[in-house]
Amino acid sequence: MIGGFTMTKTRHILALICALLMLSCSAAFAAPQQQEAPRPTLSVDGQGTGTATPDMATVTIGVTTQGEDAAKAQNDNAWVSNQIQSAVRSLGIEDKDIQTRNYSFYPNYSTEKDHRNEVTGYTVNNSVIVVVRDIKLTGKVIDAALNNGANEINSLDFSASDTKAVRKVALLNAVQDARDKADIIAKGLGKRIVGIQSVSESTGYIETRRFGGNMLMAAAKDAATPIAPGSLSLTANVHVDFILSD
C-alpha cells in the first residue's frame, strides 16, 4: 500500500489521467470543421380568393309608431309588431330566429319657441332581427313584414353557414400564387427551388353582403321583393421563404 492507496487504484488513476491527456491532444491537433454556408432564400407573398354562394340571410325589420297618448303609442306598436312576427312565423321561421334588436320609447317636444318644453306626443320604435335559413324565403319575409305594418327595413345581410371549403380554396390559391411567383423569379436568377425554409399565413373572414334600408324600401314597392344574393368572397395571404440551389 502506498499513501493509503492500493497499487490497483493507483493504476486506475494513472490510466484515467493518460486517457484525458490523449483526448486533449487529439482535440488540440484536430482540424476545425468547416461550417456549411447557408443556402440562398427567396421570400414571396401569395394571395388567393375563394367564393361561396350565400345560404342564409338576416333581415332587420322596424316598426315606428307615434301618438299623443303614451299608452296608445305603445299599444299600437306592440300590436303591429305582433302582427309582423306572426306573419313571419307563418312562413316557417322559427322563434329562435326572431329576436329584438332595439326598443325605444321617448316623448316628442314642441318646436315652437314659447312651448319647447311641452310634450306633444310619444314615439315608440321596435326593431327585430329575423334570420332566414332558407334563402329563397328572404323576399317573402320582407313582403310579409311590410304588408303587416312594418315601416322600416333597416338592413339585409347575406352570409354562408359553412366557410371551411371556401377557406381551403383560398389558401390553396394563395400557395399556388406564391409558388408561381417564386418559379418565375428563381428562373430569372438562374436558380432552382430546392426546398422551403418557412411558411406563414393570414386568412380573413368571409365578408357578408349588406343592403341598406333605402335600397330595400325602394325594392319593396314592387308586388314581390326581388332578392339576388350573388356570391361572397374570402381572401387568404401566405408568406413563403423558398430555399434556392447554389
> Is residue 164 predicted with pLDDT exceeding 80?
yes
Residue 71 lies in a domain: yes
> Is residue 188 predicted with pLDDT exceeding 80?
yes
Q: What's the number of CA atoms in the CB half-sphere (13 Å) around residue 235?
A: 4
Non-local (6+) Cβ contacts of 36 within 8 A are: none
Please name which of 133, 127, 125 lies closest in space to residue 58, comparing C-alpha atoms: 133
Residue 35 lies in a domain: no
pLDDT at residue 3 in the model? 47
pLDDT band at 14 (very low <50, low <70, confident <90, very high): low
Q: What's the number of CA atoms in the CB half-sphere (13 Å) around residue 181?
A: 18
* Together in a domain, 80 and 131: yes
Mean pLDDT of the chain: 84
DSSP reduced 3-state for 213: helix
- Across the range 90-103, mean pLDDT stands at 94
Read off the CATH number of the domain in which 119 is found.
3.30.70.2970
Rounded Cα distance between 175 and 183, Å, is 12
DSSP reduced 3-state for 224: coil
pLDDT in tens, 105-145: 999 998 887 777 889 999 999 999 999 999 999 999 999 99
Which 8-state DSSP code applies to residue 2? Answer: B
Please name which of 130, 127, 111, 129 lies closest in space to residue 119, comparing C-alpha atoms: 111
Q: In the numeric block, which cell numbers belong to residue 184?
A: 418565375
* Together in a domain, 61 and 128: yes
Structural domain boundaries, residue 190: 41-51+164-205+237-244
